[in-house]
Amino acid sequence: MDSLLTKMKEKGMKSLSPSKTKITVGMATCGIASGAELVYNALADEIEKQKLDIILSKTGCIGMCYREPLVDVIEPNRTRLTYSKVTPKNVIAILNQIAEGKSKDKKPYCRIDEEDLIINEEKIRYLTGALPDDIKAIPLMKEIDFYKKQVKIATRNCGFINPGNIDEYIARGGYFSLQKVLSNMEPVKVIEEVEGSGLRGRGGGGFSTGFKWRSCRNAPGEIKYVICNGDEGDPGAYMDRSIMEGDPHSVIEGMIIGAYAIGAHEGYIYVRDEYPLAVKALTLAISQAEEYGFLGKDIFNSGFSFDINISKGAGAFVCGESTALMASLEGKAGEPRAKYIHTIEHGLWDRPSNLNNVETWANVPVIISRGREWFSKIGYKKSTGTKVFSLVGNVKNIGLIEIPMGTTLKEIIYDIGGGIPKGKKFKAVQTGGPSGGCIPKELIDLPVDFDELTKVGSMMGSGGMIIMDETICMVDVARYFEEFLEGESCGKCVPCREGVRRMREILDDICKGNSKEGDVELLEDMSQAIIDGSLCALGGSAPNPVLSTIKYFRNEYNAHIREKKCPAGVCTEITRSD
């Protein structure tokens, strides 16, 4: 079997770095929306017209969204060049440059000479021989500010492989971890490895993944399920979309390993309705994995069998919550139930079920390959490894970043993000989605990990990081989130259904200048009641956006209430304070 996988790897390598020129276009949802499809079509037309011997391929999102559309040129034995902000008009220039071997009209943005694969310590050498002078001036990708501090584990293949080609995934070390597990690791050993790595759930809660697997393994019952949470409901977050679209096999491989460790033979991936491309990529990947014998019966002749089904959500935020998600998988309305019945024992169809987030699953093959020691050395205190964030909002370098836990907000916003555009001042960063909060500029040296974010009244959440400058009104942001939650509350329990609505109404009044002294205190009191009385974590964390903005921006609330002024000038129904 070993030799079979090695053969597939060779085949994949030929497709990754072929013996002739290859051009790849970043075609994730974000790429396409920035015009990548037009660029791809223009390239295809021109290659056809000029009868060029060039392979044209697609890849996922490498994270540099602020520079999209992106086009990579890989020529045999030469450095890998990335062109950014490419338009159909640039196509001829790029093709000419390939023909002439010189860059003139369209300058590449960055280059890669060689790459260290994180999964198995192998190197991919693009450049053999000397570096031409004109290329030297183009910065290495790993040296540009946006990438310098990044460590890519979960997003290791995004932007490097064609997600529709399983061979390319294998070429970069894919499915070798699965082989290792099935050929010489007992299930309990796999769990020990994952638990020892310190991996905590990337879906927001930060629960120990290994511990969860162990509990599910030990739960009584013959039939068990593993489930992947691809609901990615937090607004402003798109890491999971990017992984599902750009590297679906990393999630699938992680799930097979998890299923083996837990003793499950059936798995589900729950993808939100708004991600059609992710569904497409996963569907194709699953059928390829089945064809290669990585899914189905007797995987790697180990006697272990496992299948994966895909289920599409239908537009309900609360379905990202574990019990609601499982109800939705059963074809019901996705209402959460009380937490004291654990899904580990009574989950899908009342059977033991293990739910993990997309990014959590994508980490697993690397942990198996590199070992727990290696993984646990990356990160900060009790948060090991990396975290993928979507760095968006009022920041220069907008995109997806993967950084070691413990990287400070300052490093993220200024070193990686390049600071605030248009000469504006930084005001706050919002993390954790509607369950999180706003962190003020005074806390900019905060190391970002699960526990530090919770300590300051926010949350890791799934990884949305929305940077806000001085033109953003914090009361409006709080109002925005309560309105969001009011619409998404399933309505089953009163504190959440009525409480969140009342909070939104009070916030509306504050924004419109109809507020009175004491409203802030009222909001604080109500928050406590909602936290104490709600059935699920949606309600339990719903007051966070309000509490954190009151905590750090009380003056702004006071200006709205006492002076009927919005210092940021957002709430147009009251006068602007200058």
Partner 1 sequence: MDKVKNAKKNNKTIVEKYHGEKSSLIAMLQDIQKEYNFLPKDTLNLLSEETEIPLSRIYEVSTYYNSFSLKPQGRYVVQVCAGTACHIKGAPKLLSRLENELNIECGETTENLMFTLKDVRCLGCCSLAPVIKVDDHIHAYLTEDEIQGILENYRK
Ligand X SMILES: Cc1cc2nc3c(=O)[nH]c(=O)nc-3n(C[C@H](O)[C@H](O)[C@H](O)COP(=O)(O)O)c2cc1C
Measured from the CB atom, the residue of 235 and 418 that comes closer to ligand FES is 235
Question: 499: Cβ–Cβ under 8 A, 6 or more apart, which residues?
Answer: 526, 529, 530, 533, 534, 539, 542
Q: Per-residue x/- mask for ligand FES, residues 289 to 328, rule CB under 6 A?
A: ----------------------------------------
Among positions 480, 552, 553, 557, the unique one binding partner 1 when judged by CB under 8 A:
480
Whether the CB-CB separation of 239 and 231 falls below 8 Å is answered with: no
Reading the block at residue 348, the tokens are 């899908």
Identify which of 30, 32, 29, 65 has the alpha carbon closest to the alpha carbon of residue 397.
Answer: 65
Among positions 314, 338, 341, 529, the unique one binding partner 1 when judged by CB under 8 A:
314
Measured from the CB atom, the residue of 174 and 393 that comes closer to partner 1 is 393
Among positions 18, 164, 235, 533, the unique one binding ligand FES when judged by CB under 6 A:
235
Among positions 164, 196, 205, 236, the unique one binding partner 1 when judged by CB under 8 A:
236
Label the pairing between strands 225-230 and 353-357: parallel
Binding site for ligand X (CB under 6 A): 201-205, 207, 229, 231-233, 318, 320-322, 355-357, 360, 462, 536-538
Least distance in Å: CB of 258 to ligand X? 10
Among positions 46, 114, 274, 345, the unique one binding partner 1 when judged by CB under 8 A:
274
Question: 64: Cβ–Cβ under 8 A, 6 or more apart, which residues?
Answer: 70, 84, 146, 397, 399
Question: 312: Cβ–Cβ under 8 A, 6 or more apart, which residues?
Answer: 270, 271, 272, 273, 279
Residue 447 host element (H or E): none
Least distance in Å: CB of 29 to partner 1? 6
Answer with the entry of partner 1, ligand X, ligand FES, none that 499 interacts with (C-beta below 5 to 8 A by kind): none
Cβ-based burial of 315 (10 A; exposed 0-12, middle 13-18, buried ≥19)? exposed
Q: What is the DSSP string of 456-492?
A: TT---TTSEEEEEETTS-HHHHHHHHHHHHHHH--SS
Span of 30-38, 124-132, 452-460, 519-527 interacting with partner 1 by CB under 8 A: 30-38
Reading the block at residue 120, the tokens are 């198995």
Among positions 18, 221, 236, 513, the unique one binding ligand FES when judged by CB under 6 A:
236
Reading the block at residue 490, the tokens are 């399933």
Least distance in Å: CB of 200 to ligand FES? 25
- Give the dihedral sign, CA 273/277/280/282: negative
Among positions 122, 273, 532, 573, the unique one binding partner 1 when judged by CB under 8 A:
273
Measured from the CB atom, the residue of 177 and 394 that comes closer to partner 1 is 394
Q: If you ran DSSP here, which 8-state letter would residue 411 be given?
A: I
Q: Is 312 an interacting residue with respect to partner 1 (CB under 8 A)?
A: yes
Measured from the CB atom, the residue of 346 and 564 that comes closer to ligand X is 346
Output the CA–CA distances (angstroms, integers) from residue 317 to 232, 233, 234, 280, 437, in the order listed: 8, 5, 8, 21, 18
What residues between 489 and 518 interact with partner 1 by CB under 8 A?
490
Least distance in Å: CB of 392 to ligand FES? 7
Which amino acid is residue 315, in one-letter code?
A: G
- Give the dihedral sign, CA 177/183/185/191: positive
Answer with the entry of partner 1, ligand X, ligand FES, none that 322 interacts with (C-beta below 5 to 8 A by kind): ligand X
For the chain, the C-alpha Rg in angstroms (whole number) is 25
Least distance in Å: CB of 81 to partner 1? 22
What residues between 428 and 457 interact with partner 1 by CB under 8 A?
430, 433
Answer with the entry of ligand FES, partner 1, ligand X, none that 332 interacts with (C-beta below 5 to 8 A by kind): partner 1
What residues between 68 and 97 interact with partner 1 by CB under 8 A?
68
Q: Is 30 an interacting residue with respect to partner 1 (CB under 8 A)?
A: yes
Q: What is the DSSP string of 508-577?
A: HHHHHT---TTHHHHHHHHHHHHHHH-SSHHHHHTTHHHHHHHHHHHHHHHHHHHS-EETTS--TTSEEP
Alpha-carbon distance of 576 to 578, in angstroms, equals 6
Q: Is 35 an interacting residue with respect to ligand FES (CB under 6 A)?
A: no
Answer with the entry of ligand X, ligand FES, partner 1, none that 303 interacts with (C-beta below 5 to 8 A by kind): none
Alpha-carbon distance of 227 to 269, in angstroms, equals 6
Answer with the entry of ligand FES, ligand X, partner 1, none that 538 interacts with (C-beta below 5 to 8 A by kind): ligand X
Answer with the entry of ligand X, partner 1, ligand FES, none that 279 interacts with (C-beta below 5 to 8 A by kind): none
Q: Is 468 an interacting residue with respect to partner 1 (CB under 8 A)?
A: yes
Alpha-carbon distance of 191 to 201, in angstroms, equals 14
Among positions 36, 256, 259, 466, the unique one binding partner 1 when judged by CB under 8 A:
466
Output the CA–CA distances (angstroms, integers) from residue 367 to 153, 211, 370, in the order listed: 9, 15, 5
Q: Is 65 an interacting residue with respect to partner 1 (CB under 8 A)?
A: yes
Among positions 263, 365, 399, 567, the unique one binding partner 1 when judged by CB under 8 A:
399
Whether the CB-CB separation of 457 and 447 falls below 8 Å is answered with: no
Q: Is 139 an interacting residue with respect to ligand FES (CB under 6 A)?
A: no
Least distance in Å: CB of 358 to ligand X? 7
The gap from C-alpha 217 to its chain's centroid, in whole angstroms, comes to 27
Tell whether omega for the bond before 69 is within 30 degrees of 0, i.e. cis: yes
Span of 2-10, 390-398, 443-451, 494-502 interacting with partner 1 by CB under 8 A: 390-398
Q: Is 237 an interacting residue with respect to partner 1 (CB under 8 A)?
A: yes
Alpha-carbon distance of 434 to 458, in angstroms, equals 10
Answer with the entry of partner 1, ligand FES, ligand X, none that 355 interacts with (C-beta below 5 to 8 A by kind): ligand X
Least distance in Å: CB of 63 to ligand FES? 15
Reading the block at residue 345, the tokens are 């024992």
Count of chain residues binding ligand FES (CB under 6 A): 2
Residue numbers at the binding site for partner 1 (CB under 8 A): 29-30, 32-34, 65-66, 68, 232-238, 241, 273-276, 311-317, 328-335, 390, 392-394, 398-400, 430, 433, 464, 466, 468, 472, 477, 480-481, 484, 488, 490
Which residues contribute to the site for ligand FES (CB under 6 A)? 235-236
